[in-house]
Amino acid sequence: MKKKICILGSTGSIGISTLEILSKDKKNFEVVLLSANQNFKLLLKQAKEFKPKYIYTNNIFLENKIKYFCKINKIIIINDLNLLKKIKFDITVSAISGIAGLLPTINIIKFSKKILIANKESIICGWKFISKELKKYNCNFIPIDSEHFSIAKLIENKNKNLIKKIYLLASGGPFFKKSINLKKVTPTQATKHPNWKMGKKISIDSANLMNKVLEVIEASLIFKLPLNNFKIMIHPQSLIHAIVEFQNGLTTMLYHKNDMKIPIGNSLYENPFLSKQLDKNIFLKKDFSFYEPNNKNFPAIKILKLTNVLNETGFIIINILNEILVEKFLNKRILFTDIVYKLLSILNSKAIKNYLKNNRIQHINDVFKAYNFCRSLVI
C-alpha cells in the first residue's frame, strides 16, 4: 500500500528536495497534500505531476490564482488544516519557513503518523505545544535539519548522561576568511551560500552564524540537554554535520554530502535509504578543517552568553527578533551587520528585561503576542 504524504511548504528548498525523492518512487508514495504561500507557478507544476487531493494555503492571492486549475482537476483547496477529516498521513514534512510554520505544524500532527520537521523557528517558538501534540496523537517526530538529524543518529540508544559535548558544525558562510566590508554586503551576496542550496532567510542566518545559535537552542529543546552541552565550530567543507564527545573518551561524528535529500530520504524510508550520490573515495579527496568562531568575526555567539534571555520566553524573543531583522535586511532597510548588532542591543534593553519578567508562554497565543511586542521594538 502506498504511503500517504503531506508536504507543508512544498515550494521551498526542503519541499522541492522531498518531491525529487518521491518522484523516483511513485509506486510506494502518494502525495495527498501540497502547500505554498506565494510561488503559485511552481505549486501548479507540482500539482500537475503529483495530483494531490488537497492544496493548503491561507494566501487569498495564491488561492485565486489556482482556483480554476483545482476545480478542473478536482483538487480541494483548504485554508485551515483542521478542515481535513478522516485522514491520516503516513508521513508529513513540515518545512514552512519562519514562525508562519508554527500553527500548521501543530495542527497537522493530529493527522500524521510521522512528522519530519525542518523548521527550527517552529521548534524554538512552540516546542512545548508541538511535543504535547506529538504525545497526545502518538505521532513519531524526526528532525531533518542535517545537524539535528545527525545528532539523533549519533546518540540513538546512548545514555545521555555519558554525553560530554555536542559540536554543531557551521560552514562559516560566504564571507568566512574573506576580506570584505560587511556593512556593504547586499542580500544577493549574503544569500549565496558556499555549499548548500537554501532559502533566503536561512542563508542569511548562515552568513552571520545566527543559524547555529538558533540550532543550539533547538537542539537543547529537542534532546533535553542544557545549552552548555553544545558548542559551535566552523567546518567550511560542510561534510561533517555533528560531533558527539562522550565521557568515556570516545568521539563519534556523522558525515554525509551537503545535500538535504540524504537526511530527508533516510527519514522517509523505514529501510535504509539508498543514495546514488555516494562517492567511494570521499575520505581520500576531502580535507577536513575545523575552526573555533570568535566574538569579533561572529558576534552572534554572544547571544548564548546572555543568561537573562536563555529561557523559554527568551528563546522565542531571540528567534522572532532575528526573523524580523532578517526581513528588514532582505528589504534593504538595514545593513547586514545591523542584524546581529541590533539584536544584541534589543536583547540587552530594559524593555526586554521587563517583558521577560512579566510574561510567560502558557498558550500558543502568547507566542504571537511576543511577536507583536518584538515588532514594536524594531525600528
355: nearest Cα among 326, 321, 305, 314 = 314
Residue 269 maps to a domain: no
- What average pLDDT score do residues 14-38 get? 95
Please tell me whether residues 361 and 233 are part of one structural domain. Answer: yes
The pLDDT tens digits for 215-231 are: 999 999 999 999 999 99
Domain count, the chain: 2
Please tell me whether residues 189 and 117 are part of one structural domain. Answer: no
Residue 332 maps to a domain: yes
* Domain ranges, residue 247: 168-256+292-377
- For the record, the C-alpha cell of 222 comes out as 529537542
The pLDDT tens digits for 58-84 are: 888 888 899 999 999 999 999 999 999
What's the pLDDT at 374? 96
Please say if the pLDDT value at position 284 is more than 70.
no
Please tell me whether residues 240 and 316 are part of one structural domain. Answer: yes
Please tell me whether residues 176 and 133 are part of one structural domain. Answer: no
Please tell me whether residues 81 and 21 are part of one structural domain. Answer: yes
Residue 284 maps to a domain: no
Please tell me whether residues 224 and 121 are part of one structural domain. Answer: no
The pLDDT tens digits for 97-125 are: 889 999 999 999 999 999 999 999 999 99
Residue 272 maps to a domain: no
What's the pLDDT at 85? 84
Please tell me whether residues 43 and 123 are part of one structural domain. Answer: yes
Please tell me whether residues 190 and 317 are part of one structural domain. Answer: yes
- What average pLDDT score do residues 233-245 get? 94
What's the pLDDT at 148? 96
Residue 155 maps to a domain: no
Please tell me whether residues 177 and 41 are part of one structural domain. Answer: no
Please say if the pLDDT value at position 278 is more than 50.
no
What's the pLDDT at 162? 95
Please tell me whether residues 48 and 94 are part of one structural domain. Answer: yes
Helix (H) / strand (E) element for 254: namely strand 251-255
Which positions ≥6 away from 225 have C-beta within 8 Å?
160, 163, 166, 219
- What average pLDDT score do residues 308-317 get? 95
What's the pLDDT at 288? 87
Q: How confident is the model at residue 273 (pLDDT cuts 50, 70, 90)?
A: low
Q: Of 143, 158, 188, at which residue does a domain stop?
A: 143
Residue 190 maps to a domain: yes
What's the pLDDT at 283? 56
User: Mean pLDDT across the chain, nearest whole number?
Assistant: 93
What's the pLDDT at 34? 98
d(CA 231, CA 212): 9
DSSP tally for the chain: helices H, then strands E: 15, 11
What's the pLDDT at 3? 96
Give the CATH number of the domain where residue 67 resides. Answer: 3.40.50.720
Please tell me whether residues 139 and 178 are part of one structural domain. Answer: no
Please say if the pLDDT value at position 352 is more than 50.
yes
